[in-house]
Every structure is written in C-alpha cells, then in structure tokens.
Structure 1
Amino acid sequence: MRHRFNEPGSEDPLTFAVSERDRGTLEMVRDALAAGNVMLAYQPVVGVATGQPAFYEGLIRVLDDTNRIIPAGQFMGVVETQELGREIDVAALRCGLGALSRHTSLRLSINMSARSIGYPKWIQVLKRWLTRDPTIGERLILEITETSAMLVPELVKTFMAELQDKGITFALDDFGAGQTCFRSLKEMYFDIVKIDGSFVRGCDKTPDNQCILEALIAVGRTFDMFTVAESVESRAEAQFLAQAGVECLQGYYYGAPETKPAWMTPEGRGTPVAAQKRSG
C-alpha cells in the first residue's frame, strides 16, 4: 500500500514540518517588525595591539509575542531571500544609526545583504540620518557577506563607490565561506575583511585551518584590508591568530552580544575609535 505522503501533490511529514516551521518564523518576524519589537545586541571587536574594542558589531534581534529575544541566526535563513529580509536590514540600520547618534564615541558595524542595495526604504533611512548628522557616516561600518556580495559584484562596487564620500567603512563578512572572485574583490572598496568563524574555531590545533587562515590573512594584506577573525572562543585561538597577523578579534572569548552593554549606561565609558580606513 502506498503511503499518502508519496502521492502526487502531497508533502511528506518532514517537508510539511519544515514548511510549517518556516511559515511560523515568517509570521513571528513580520509581527515583530510591525510592532517595532526589534533591537541590536552589541559585540566588541577587540584590537590585538590595544586589547580594547576597536568597534562593535550590532546584531539584529527580534522579540516574539512573549518578549523572548530571538537571535538573527534563528530567522535570517528563512527571510534573507524575501522582502522581509530587506525590512530586517532596514530595521537593523535604523537601530544602528540611532545608537551612533546617541553615543558619539561609538564606532559600529551593521549587517546588510547585497540584496538590500537599491531597496528604497533602506537608502532613505541612511540618507535621512546622514543629512541630520553627517559625522555618523564616519563611524558607520557596513558589513556585506561574501556570499551575497559575489552574487552582484558590479552592483556592490557601484554602491560602495557612491558612499565613499560619506566616510562609510565597508567590511566583507564571512570571508572564506563563499566563492570570491579575486578580480571583483580587487575592484571593490572593502576596508575590512572578517574571516569566517569556521576557520577560526580550533585554529590553535588544526593544521588545515591554520593553512587556510594564513592564506586568507595574506589575501587581506594584499588588498590592504584590515583583518578581523570571527568566533574566537579561547585564549589559545586568540594567541594563534595574533601571532598569525590578524589585527582584530571577535567572539565569545571577548564578550557575548549584549542588548544593554555597559557603555550604554550613564556610568559606562565611551568606546574607542575603530580601525582606520585603507588608503586609496
């Protein structure tokens, strides 16, 4: 006897369960955006030379209907290719620019997908804040994932060129996880390269990761990009990366993302300036 879920037009139980989960995720994110229940969690990116935060990364969080904070990793995979993903980028940018306006010593990176380039709401939010306070651009870092950047390299190149005179810094996120066209990378304006955490974890004792890291660091140097290692979780990893020539380190070893870091309080200290933009 043939099972019902094998019949034409029907879904097997696993596919149905995944579909229902994704549908629920979309509804949760859509409701959170409509209610304004979004915020950033801030994680320090620490300079090897100083041991102090060079800048912070603002990671988008949404609150569900029970006010539980949901990390981006639990919903971005579902929404990234949809318009809802563009709305998430808009919300992250708005939150980040607001934080930069309130904390004048803050240097902050905000994630965006290359798919959001040309999205009217996103560019309207950026222009509105830059008109209000042009100094914000000098403290803003836009992180674009390697995977999305290489989907539309010419569009990314034009977008970055148009924003160069605003003082905005650009970071290539998750470097090594995608398929970079080095000719495209050469023609872009990335100031920072953030090495994907999959090559960082266990790098102090994994020869394969060490070999790949050395190659990625060399690429960063060749293109005059400031290097950041993501997902640093131990002292041994941090020591290896520092000796290998990485300039900044980010991960739970230095601090988990916090929605209310100490520098947000009246008693908190201001944050140091970030890495300088590359010349040229």
Structure 2
Amino acid sequence: MAENARAFLNVQKRDRSTGKVDPSQVAEEHAYPSEGAGEHGLQTMFEFNPTADDLKWSDESAAAHILGVDASQIAGSGKEFASSIDGDVDPARSEAFAGRRESYACEYRLKRADGAGHWVEERGGWIGSGGNRRLISVIRSIENRKRREEELSYLAVSDELTGLLNRVHLRKSLDECIAKFNAGEATGAYILAGIDDVGAVNADFGFDAADKLIVEVAGRLKSIIGPDDHIGRVAGTKFGIVIADCDKEQLRQTCVRLLNVVRESVIETKGGAVAASICLGAVELPEQADNSNAAMTRAEAALDAAKRIGKSSWSTFTDKTDVVSMRRRNSHMSDVILTALNERRIRLAFQPIVSDLDETPKKFECLIRMSGEDGQNIPAPEFIPAAERLGLVHLLDRRVLELATNTLAICPDIHLNVNISMETVKDFVWAEGYIALLRANQELAKRITVELTETQVIDAIDASIEFVSEIKRLGCSFGIDDFGAGYTSFRNLKAMDIDILKIDGSFVTGVSSSRENQLFVRTLLDLARNFGMKTVAEWVDNEADAMLLKGLGVDFLQGYLLGKPETNPGWLPEGAPNDPPQRLERI
C-alpha cells in the first residue's frame, strides 16, 4: 500500500503528458494551508481493488475521523463508501471506479454517523496492470475552506456587523422595487435612517459600545418593517429601508413608528446604558425618484434637513431640500479643503510599524490630518469622501507626498508609507505629476512605500499595474492595504509586483481568540510567502494578538499597542516640514 501510494503521489503532482509539475495543483496545495491543522485538516489514502470491491486505508484513524465513525466501522468496500456520499456521486468518480477513467478529482459532502455533514476533496488514479491494477485515492478534508466560502458568500450580500443587507444588495432591492413602481403596480418609499451622536458614544463609552448601539438599532428598525420590505446598512451609522407599498399617510406613520421603536428603551452596553435616537430622510417612490441613485441621493438630502431640526426628527424630500443641501455641502467642504491646503493646515500623523514589540520604530505610516480654522481637527471621514466627490483628492495626495519627502530629507533613518487614492492613479495628468515629484526626489524614493487598498486595485487593475511599474522603477516599494477585504486574483498579485501585503484589520482584531481569523491569517501569510512579499498586520491593540501574529510569521505589526498616530512625534517634534530643506547648490 505504501509503495503504491508514493507512486500515485508522484504521478498526481506531474502532468501525465509532459512530466512537468502541474501549477494548478501546487497552487491548490498552498491556497488553504490552514487545512493542515486539527480535525478538518485530516487526509488519508485508500487502495481500491476492483476485483474484490475492497478498500484498504493508509490511516484508519484519520479515515474514522473524516467519516465520523469508530475505526472498526470505516467503509471496507467501494460500494459501502459510496453510500456515505451526500447527494449524487460525481460522474468522473463513478467512471474511474468502473475502470473507464484513468484519473479523477472531485469534491463532495459526506453523511457522517454523527449527523453532521463534512466536505472532502478526493483525487485518484489507476496504477499497475492486469490482476495488480489498483485505484489509489487521496481524501482530504476541505470543511474549513467550504465554511470560509460560505462566509464570503454571506458577506458578499450581508453586512458583517448587523446581518442586514449590505449597500450593494440593498441598492439591487431598491432597483427592483422602483421597476415595479414605474410599471404602475404600486407606490412605495425609500427611508434613510441615521443614528444620532454615535461619535459621542465612541468617545464616552468606547468602540464596543458603539458597535452594540448600531446592532441594537438595526434590530429595532428591522422589527418594524413588513415582510415585503427591505433594510440594509448603507454606511457606518446609516440604514436604508425600502418600503414596498405605502402612500403618503402610511409613510408618515412608518417614520413615526421607526423613531419610536429606537428611543422606547435604553440600550445596555458594557460601558453603561445608552439612550439612542435616529433621524430619518424619506423619499416617495416613484414620484420623487425613478432610479436608485436618485432615491439614495435625495434621501441623504432629506436626512440632512431632518438633522438640522434636531434629534429624533424626520423629513421628506423636496426640490428645495435637494438643491440647498447638496449645494451647501459641496460649496462648504470645497472651501474648507482648499483653504486648509493654502494655509498649510494639512498635516501628517505618523503611526509606527515595527517588526517586534521591543523595537525602536524606524518605519511609519503617514495618515492625513486637517485642522479647521478654529484649530480643531476635522475627521478624515468628513473630508476625504468629499474631496473625492469634488475632484480635490489629487491635491491631498500630492500634499501628503510633499510632506513625506520633506520629512525623509531631514530624517535619514526613517522609512515612510504613504497612501494614494485610485482617483489619482487613474488620472493620467495627476498620476504623472505624482510620479514627477517622486522623480525629483529619487534619492528618497527607496525609503517610500506607496499603498493602495485592495478594493481600489481590483476596480482599476490596468491603471494600477502601470502606476506601480513607474514608481518601482524610481525605487519605491508598493503595498496593498486592507488585503483580504477584496478578491484579488493570483494573476493580478503576480502582475502587480507587490512588496507588502497589509492584512485587513478586521481579521487581526481579536485574532488570538478567533480560530476563524487565525485560519484566514495563516492562509494570507502562506500566499504572501509564495509570492515573496512581506506582511503587515494592522489594528494590533493587545499583546496576545501581537504574540500570536509574530508566531504565525507576520513580518510587521501596526496598531495602538505599538503606538497611536502622532502629528508631533519625539523624533520629529515640529511635525512634518511644510517646505523642503534648502539644498546646497554645487559650484
């Protein structure tokens, strides 16, 4: 059995016609390294004798675990084993067992004696000839992979925190309802609900309490809507609600019920009791919007109007609301951003990136900060999306790079990571201007890592590849931020020539107590090693997570445990210089 097994494995790893290693099988072996640990990582082999319909297992203990039976009860024949397969048997497997196919590979779910299903992968091939002809097959548990695929399928539709629809799928539901409304089948509404003062809850009670508030409000809102209605989380503290059938009076009643259900009782959190309230912006459909984009935009305007009234208020959209609200917001934020740039009120905050807990930081990520005219910081979520919407984000990207190069010029031992928006990368003129600034400071470029988020890269892969090629030619490194949040393919990873993968913080937070996150991080680390990339774990906020991550092989750590972002760190007490240092002219 052992000799047959070794011969089979040698055949399986090489293409039968060329004798070369099959890259698809190698990729598969490395795609889910975490399958090798625990019960779900078990694998075993069997030898099938077609004459006697006899199965011999290489590891009866592993086979018993996979099948969920005692070792004395494992299948001893091909027919008995086939009966444990849940559903129809793969035709390729059936043909192989009948001797009409030389090799096969399939996945199926086993019916285990304990009542739980279990996914496995089976690969087999025939060896020998005549009376010694045998089918040798490897069975490997892929239960973890299937669970992860199910989780990704769920997250593609649902919001991870609340379980409601995510923004994309709520928009699809809204489009479907509007199509019915436009056909004259009914009238309905789209309502945008925004939680009041979540920032204050964050500050006074902590992020966990804010998350509990969001989840509880989501549940209360869902309890009010009907079976044909839809609700989803469209932003951090905002929920979109599609009412499938209502008139003006029913819309008013629904809004009142939504307001009341949220404030009817306090929400208990670990930090204390929180009194919640919401504001609502409503749009009548199809009268006030005949497509989802218009409905969502006008609901935002109506929500702004409700917030100006005060907490626990609601407002319906009018033409005046839309014009005044959008024009006011755009005009105001445009002035704020441009004035801050002109008055040099854009600053950098530096967050340490270290390879070990006791290391003195020499590598930092540059995070953009903006001060208002009153000296108060304006949160990035308030001005970055507006800058992208108004076409001003290119100016911010350029200013961040200027401040970073100025800092590097006076700090020869520092390495900086800077973020760039996809809007700059996609725009040829602005991308060329960004690259020109790097070219003018090429002696500093080798100490700069430029970062793009994974989801941005996927959206414009061709532009990304060209941009990355240019900056690497100048000596910069390139990193993908929030890796794991999107679906970058192996081909794109190779084409991008990536130096750094920054693992999405949602998989890092609490990794020491989450087996699922550990398995996912292991997978990403193995992927990075195969491509020769370094890894950074973000959002590291406790020592247990840090120690586990280093044990798993993460190259660098970043998070509040290692240091919070500082605009005036000890190694740069005056902050990033607004102007480059004077250069001595050669005589």
TM-score by length of 1: 0.84
Letter in 1 for 2:368: I
Cα distance in 2 between the residues matched to 1:240 and 1:52: 20
Aligned to 2:433: 124
Contact 2:363 2:414 in 1 (8 A): yes
SS of aligned partner of 2:561 = coil
State the superposition RMSD in angstroms: 2.6
Corresponding position: 1:109 with 2:417? yes
Is contact 2:501–2:528 with CA below 8 Å preserved after alignment?
yes
Partners of 2:366 and 2:407 in 1: CA distance: 9
How is 1:24-173 mapped onto 2 (pairs within 5 angstroms)?
A: 25-48=333-356, 51-80=359-388, 82-117=390-425, 118-121=427-430, 123-128=432-437, 130-131=439-440, 133-173=441-481
CA distance in 1, matches of 2:520, 2:387: 31
Distance, in Å, in 2 between the alignment partners of 1:79 and 1:123 is 20
Higher Rg of the two aligned structures:
2
Q: Give the Å deviation of 1:78.
A: 3.9
Structure with bigger RCO (C-alpha 8 Å, 6+ apart): 1
The unaligned stretches of length 5 or more in structure 2 are 1-247, 253-280, 290-297, 308-324, 575-587
Once residues 487 and 385 of structure 2 are traced to their aligned partners in structure 1, the CA distance between those partners, rounded to angstroms, is 19
TM-superposed deviation, 1:22: 5.7
Deviations 1:30-79 (A, max 9, x none): 43224331010001100138723251111111111211123424432443
Q: Please identify, of 213-222 and 20-29, the stretch whose mean Cα deviation from structure 2 is larger.
A: 20-29
Aligned mates of 1:163, 1:92 — CA distance in 2:
16
* Corresponding letter in the other structure for 1:58: C
- The residue aligned with 1:9 is 288
CA deviations on 1:52-109 (whole Å, 9 max, x unpaired) are 3251111111111211123424432443354122222122112112111222222101
Please state how far the C-alpha of 1:163 moved relative to its aligned partner.
Answer: 2.4
Q: Check conservation: 2:362, 2:413, Cα contact below 8 A.
A: no
- 3-state SS, counterpart of residue 353 of structure 2: strand
How big is the shift at 1:183? 1.2
Aligned match of 1:204: 512
Deviation at 1:209, TM superposition (A): 1.0
Provide the residue aligned with 1:271 in structure 2: none
Residue in 1 aligned with 2:118?
none
User: 1:152 & 1:209 partners in 2: Cα distance?
Assistant: 28
Q: CA deviation at 1:124?
A: 2.4
Q: Secondary structure at the match of 1:53?
A: coil
1:190 corresponds to which letter in structure 2? I
**16-25 or 145-154: bigger deviation:** 16-25
Q: Within 2, Cα distance between the matches of 1:247 and 1:260?
A: 26
Matches of 2:572 and 2:474 in 1, distance apart? 26
CA contact (8 A) 1:232 1:250 kept: yes
Further displaced range: 73-82 or 176-185 = 73-82
Give the corresponding residue for 2:552: 244
Are 1:58 and 1:96, in contact at CA under 8 Å, matched by a contact in 2? yes
1:192 aligns with 2:511: no
Report the counterpart of residue 536 of structure 2 in structure 1. 228
Change (3 A) 1:5 1:169: closer
Name the structure 1 match of 2:260: none
The number of residues matched between the two structures is 265
**Which stretch shifts more, 3-12 or 206-215?**
3-12
Q: How far, CA to CA, are the matches of 2:535 and 2:566 in structure 1?
A: 23
User: Partners in 2 of 1:147 and 1:126 — Cα distance?
Assistant: 22
**Stretch of structure 1 that moved more, 221-230 or 111-120:** 111-120
TM-score normalized by the length of structure 2 = 0.42
Secondary structure at 1:227's aligned position in 2? strand
Query: Residues 42 and 58 of structure 1 are in contact (CA less than 8 Å); yes or no, is this contact kept in structure 2?
Result: yes
Identical aligned pairs, as a percentage? 32
Runs of 5+ unmatched residues, structure 1? 267-280
Higher mean Cα deviation, 66-75 or 238-247?
A: 66-75
Secondary structure, counterpart of 1:190 in structure 2: coil
**Cα deviation digits, residues 197-248 of structure 1 (max 9, x gap):** 1101000001111111111111111111100000100001100100010010
Correspondent of 1:253 among 549, 561, 578:
561
